[in-house]
């Protein structure tokens, strides 16, 4: 990787994936302060406070509306990229974050809970379009390899390359870093106090502003310029910057060949993908691993970590630091997955990850039921939460996105990503919204739901999905058949 290509990869990941992770965890620490603000505002408007049920409903909406915004953003990203290019779409997404930060930052001064909810939905809109839409393909898909290195199935990296799995999971590392940064900033010594929560939520403007300023230092994606805009001159100049070499004619010719092949290729719609029997097992696999990833309970852990530790009996003064410790382990687990994926393979990582999450979810239930008789079981709860996070970051966090690209040809891949991405956001919203009520109604047994989902997903992967490491689409298709 040349320095310009590495720089734009880090910049885009910082302003998209890391921001996505930050927004997942930022509502955890100030939960009680936000609820108190909602209750006080409601009392001032209507002369009475909110009951526990309506207050929980309003806060659950605040948490989960992020995912609905993400769903809308993921569906609109194609229009944005087609209209403005990848760099232009990223810049406009960053402007949305500035708007969202303003809404959330001034919500308390204007006594408006609605501004918090609107701000959260706008940050979700950014994450849906930027993190999972136009950002991830931007650095990794900017420069193709020579024909001798490509596998002929549209993959960005060659079949035997160690970079394909490594860079495929790099966004996961930045998501973990975003979660960890929100946990650190949420400490009582920093922004965890009541008067600072609007500033805490609005800090999303910092990485967005940095991305907005620095994106102008980099050219547009060469592949986008040539294949989408037919701008050979612009693509050549961009390749000079990215590759650091004056001789880019071979790469230009390869992209022209790709342009010709894509122009003769009929792209499959979502409806056509769902009706195509030749890829039905691949489509079902995308559905299972993407839905399983979000229904595994990881979003409940990220959104409601402090509440989970409080119910487990951890002293209130220790909860912020315990939460921060889980975030540090999360980053380490993500690095382990990123560094080992090309050695171990996709399939073992995702199976081990789901199994670890399932066992640890059952462990939380057992520890909560036994903690009255055995006070030390509270620490087993913490260990199980750490196990869920570590298992997720080592496999299920990033492997489903990588496998989606490897299970389909270029004609089917965009529709497959729409299916997987839509399921991701819908399941994210579902867990974020219903978990507080599930916890109130089922108590310790609510984690058994996540246990069942994780173990069933692991069983499906073990029985159905082949290893995709170092395989072309045709090889994978034959294995499925």
Interval 365-423: pLDDT, tens: 998 888 878 888 888 888 898 889 888 887 787 778 778 877 887 778 888 888 888 88
The pair of structure tokens assigned to 339 is 């560094």
Instruction: Confirm if 158 and 334 have CB atoms less than 8 A apart.
Output: no
Written in H, E and C, the secondary structure of 429-472 is HHHHHHHHHHHHHHHHHHHHHHHHHHHHHHHHHHHCCCCCCCCC
Same domain? For 280 and 170 the reply is no
**pLDDT for residue 37:** 94
Band of residue 164 on the pLDDT scale cut at 50, 70, 90: low
Domain shared by 277 and 131, yes or no: no
| 212 and 289 belong to one structural domain | no
Task: Evaluate whether residue 63 is within a structural domain.
Answer: yes
For residue 138, pLDDT over 50 is answered with: no
Count CB atoms within 10 A of the CB of residue 47. 7
Residue 117 banded pLDDT, cuts 50, 70, 90 = very high
Cα→Cα distances 315→180, 199, 256, 376, 379, Å: 21, 26, 63, 12, 11
Q: Are 343 and 409 contained in the same domain?
A: yes
Residue environment code for 60-80, b if the CB has 16+ CB neighbours within 10 A, otherwise e? bbbbbbbbbbbbebbbebeeb
Q: Which of 197, 218, 239 is the last residue of a domain?
A: 218
Q: Is the pLDDT of residue 152 over 80?
A: no
Most confident of the ranges 69-78, 210-219, 277-286? 277-286
Q: How many other β-carbons are positioned within 10 Å of the β-carbon of residue 325?
A: 14
297 and 191, same domain (yes or no): no
Predicted local distance difference test score (pLDDT) of residue 146 = 35
Token digits of residue 11: 């910049």
Inform me whether the pLDDT recorded for 148 exceeds 50: no
Q: What is the pLDDT of residues 181-196, one digit of tens each?
A: 998 999 988 998 888 9
Q: Is the pLDDT of residue 269 over 80?
A: yes
Q: Are residues 354 and 414 in the same domain?
A: yes
Q: Domain for residue 29, yes or no?
A: yes
Structure tokens at 360: 């640890």
Q: Which residues touch 114 (CB under 8 Å, ≥6 apart)?
A: none
| Measured distance between the N- and C-terminal CA atoms of the chain, rounded to whole angstroms | 37
Over residues 200-217, the pLDDT tens digits come to 999 999 988 888 888 777
Report how many domains make up the chain: 2
Q: Structural domain of residue 404, as residue ranges?
A: 268-480
Has residue 476 been placed in a domain?
yes
Residue 341 CB neighbour total at 10 angstroms: 25
Rounded to 10°, the helix 319-344/346-370 angle is 150
Cβ-Cβ contacts under 8 Å for 226 (sequence gap 6 or more): 232, 234, 235, 252, 255, 256, 259
- Residues 314 and 376 reside in one and the same domain: yes
pLDDT at 448: 93
- Write out pLDDT tens, residues 224-260: 788 778 888 888 888 887 777 778 888 888 778 777 7
Given this model, what pLDDT does residue 166 score? 59
Quick check: is 257 in a domain? no
> Looking at the structure, do residues 474 and 374 belong to the same domain, yes or no?
yes
Let me know if residue 272 belongs to a domain: yes
Q: Is residue 244 part of a domain?
A: no
- Domain co-membership, 287 together with 421: yes
59 burial class (0-12, 13-18, 19+ CB within 10 angstroms)?
Answer: buried
Instruction: Output Rg (C-alpha) for the chain, integer angstroms.
Output: 23
pLDDT at 356 over 80: yes
For residue 456, pLDDT over 90 is answered with: yes
Q: 34 pLDDT exceeds 70?
A: yes
Q: Evaluate if residue 49 carries a pLDDT over 90.
A: no
Q: Specify whether 99 is located in the same domain as 177.
A: yes
Check whether residue 417 and residue 287 sit in a common domain: yes
Contacts (Cβ under 8 Å, ≥6 apart) of 175: 17, 18, 20, 21, 24, 334, 397
Do 202 and 283 fall within a single domain?
no
Residue 318: per-residue pLDDT: 84
Least confident piece of the model among 145-159, 160-174, 196-210: 145-159
Q: How many CB atoms lie within 10 A of CB 119?
A: 28
CATH number for the domain spanning 386: value is 1.20.1250.20
**Amino acid 400: pLDDT:** 80
Residue 396 lies in a domain: yes
Q: Is 155 among the domain residues?
A: no
| pLDDT of the residue at 58 | 92
Max Cα-Cα span within the chain: 73
Q: Locate all alpha helices (DSSP H) within 215-318, ordered by sequence.
A: 222-223, 232-243, 249-263, 270-275, 280-295, 298-303, 305-311
The average pLDDT across 329-350 equals 80
């Amino acid at each position: 990787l040349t320095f310009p290509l590495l720089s734009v990869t880090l910049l885009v990941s910082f302003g998209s994936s890391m921001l996505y992770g930050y927004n997942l965890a930022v509502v955890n620490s100030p939960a009680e302060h936000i609820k108190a603000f909602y209750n006080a505002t409601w009392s001032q408007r209507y002369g009475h406070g909110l009951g526990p049920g309506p207050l929980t409903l309003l806060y659950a909406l605040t948490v989960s509306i992020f995912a609905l915004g993400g769903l809308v953003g993921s569906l609109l990203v194609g229009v944005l990229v087609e209209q403005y290019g990848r760099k232009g779409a990223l810049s406009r997404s960053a402007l949305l974050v500035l708007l969202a930060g303003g809404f959330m930052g001034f919500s308390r001064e204007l006594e408006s809970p609605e501004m918090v909810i609107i701000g959260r939905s706008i940050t979700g809109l950014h994450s849906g379009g930027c993190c999972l839409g136009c950002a991830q393909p931007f650095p990794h898909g900017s420069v193709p390899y020579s024909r001798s290195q490509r596998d002929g199935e549209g993959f960005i990296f060659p079949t035997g390359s160690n970079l394909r799995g490594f860079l495929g999971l790099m966004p996961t590392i930045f998501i973990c870093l975003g979660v960890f940064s929100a946990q650190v900033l949420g400490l009582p010594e920093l922004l965890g106090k009541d008067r600072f929560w609007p500033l805490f939520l609005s800090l999303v403007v910092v990485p967005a502003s940095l991305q907005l300023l620095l994106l102008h230092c980099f050219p547009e994606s060469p592949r986008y310029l040539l294949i989408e805009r037919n701008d050979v001159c612009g693509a050549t100049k961009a390749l000079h910057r990215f590759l650091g070499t004056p001789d880019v004619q071979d790469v230009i010719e390869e992209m022209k060949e790709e342009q010709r092949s894509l122009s003769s290729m009929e792209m499959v719609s979502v409806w056509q993908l769902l009706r195509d029997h030749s890829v039905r097992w691949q489509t079902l696999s995308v559905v299972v691993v993407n839905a399983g990833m979000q229904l595994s309970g990881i979003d409940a852990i990220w959104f409601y970590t402090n509440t989970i530790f409080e119910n487990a009996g951890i002293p209130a003064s220790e909860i912020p630091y315990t939460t921060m410790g889980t975030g540090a382990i999360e980053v380490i687990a993500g690095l382990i997955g990123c560094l080992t994926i090309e050695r171990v393979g996709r399939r073992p990582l995702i199976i081990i990850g789901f199994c670890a999450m399932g066992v640890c979810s059952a462990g939380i239930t057992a520890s909560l039921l036994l903690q009255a008789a055995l006070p030390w079981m509270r620490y087993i709860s913490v260990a199980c939460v750490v196990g869920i996070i570590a298992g997720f970051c080592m496999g299920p966090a990033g492997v489903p996105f990588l496998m989606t690209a490897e299970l389909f040809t270029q004609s089917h891949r965009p529709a497959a990503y729409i299916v997987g991405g839509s399921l991701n956001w819908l399941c994210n919203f579902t867990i974020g919204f219903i978990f507080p009520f599930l916890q109130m109604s089922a108590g310790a047994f609510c984690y058994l739901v996540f246990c069942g989902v994780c173990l069933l997903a692991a069983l499906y992967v073990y029985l159905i999905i082949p290893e995709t490491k170092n395989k072309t689409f045709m090889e994978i298709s034959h294995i499925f058949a």
